[in-house]
């Protein structure tokens, strides 16, 4: 196995086989994994908010679903990924605290993050093949470029592979 490359919060990275990408402790954020099985070029973005156009302070494009996924897609194409073969898997978007009436602010942004990610992938024509979103717990994810497997680890739960 290759190297495990860490992707931070509001960050994105791509890698080639045999390396893998990971991001730790997704809460309401989404980990968007894009994989091209023909070249094994893989990318992982850790976005925090759904929409860069709704916010004044939007200089970090990796922070948002719309701009972050676009950049990840562009970087992968630039690295030689095959547009038509790319597939995506997403995880995260949890509601960490069951606070009522907080959906307008950033507290329950998880669902909106997931929806914005699905929308952007659809716009780019990248097929969403699997997802593990919502509920109320954090997730650590690992994307293996050899296989395209997306590992999801949560506290007190068995390992899930999508």
Partner 1 sequence: MLTLNEVNEKYFDVLKEIGNIGAGNATTAIANMLGLRIDMSVPEVAFLPVEELGGAIGAEDEIIVGIMLGVEADIDGSMMFLMDMQSAHHIVNKLMMRDPGYSEPFNEMDLSAIKEVGNIIAGSYLSALSGLTNLTIVPSVPFVAVDMAAAILSVPAVQFGIFGDNALMINTEFSDDLGIKGHFILMPEEDSYDKILSALGIAT
Catalytic residue ranges: 29
Distance CA(139)–CA(144), nearest Å, equals: 16
Burial class (CB in 10 A: 0-12, 13-18, 19+), 150: buried
Task: Pull the structure tokens for residue 78.
Answer: 């630039």
Closer Cβ to partner 1, 49 or 121, answer by number: 49
Residues 77-106 vs partner 1: string with x where CB under 8 A? -----------------x-xxxx-xx--xx
Residues 6 or more apart in contact with residue 57 via CB below 8 angstroms:
none
Q: List binders of partner 1 among 40-79 (CB under 8 A).
A: 48-49, 55-57, 59-60, 63
Q: Which residues, 18 to 47, sit near partner 1 by CB under 8 A?
A: 24-29
Binding residues vs partner 1 (CB under 8 A):
8-11, 24-29, 48-49, 55-57, 59-60, 63, 94, 96-99, 101-102, 105-107, 109, 136-140, 155-156
């Amino acid at each position: 196995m290759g190297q495990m490359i860490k992707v931070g919060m509001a960050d994105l990275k791509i890698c080639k086989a045999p390396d893998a990408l990971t991001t730790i402790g997704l809460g309401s954020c989404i980990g968007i994994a894009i994989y091209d099985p023909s070249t094994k070029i893989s990318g992982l973005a850790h976005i925090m908010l759904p929409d860069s156009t709704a916010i004044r302070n939007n200089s970090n494009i990796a922070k948002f679903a719309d701009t972050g996924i676009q950049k990840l897609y562009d970087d992968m194409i630039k690295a030689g990924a095959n547009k038509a073969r790319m597939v995506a898997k997403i995880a995260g978007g949890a509601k960490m605290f069951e606070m009522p009436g907080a959906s307008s602010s950033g507290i329950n942004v998880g669902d909106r993050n997931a929806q914005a990610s699905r929308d952007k992938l659809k716009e780019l024509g990248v097929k969403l093949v699997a997802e593990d979103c919502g509920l109320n717990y954090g997730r650590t994810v690992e994307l293996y470029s050899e296989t395209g497997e997306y590992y999801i680890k949560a506290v007190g739960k068995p390992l899930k592979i999508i």
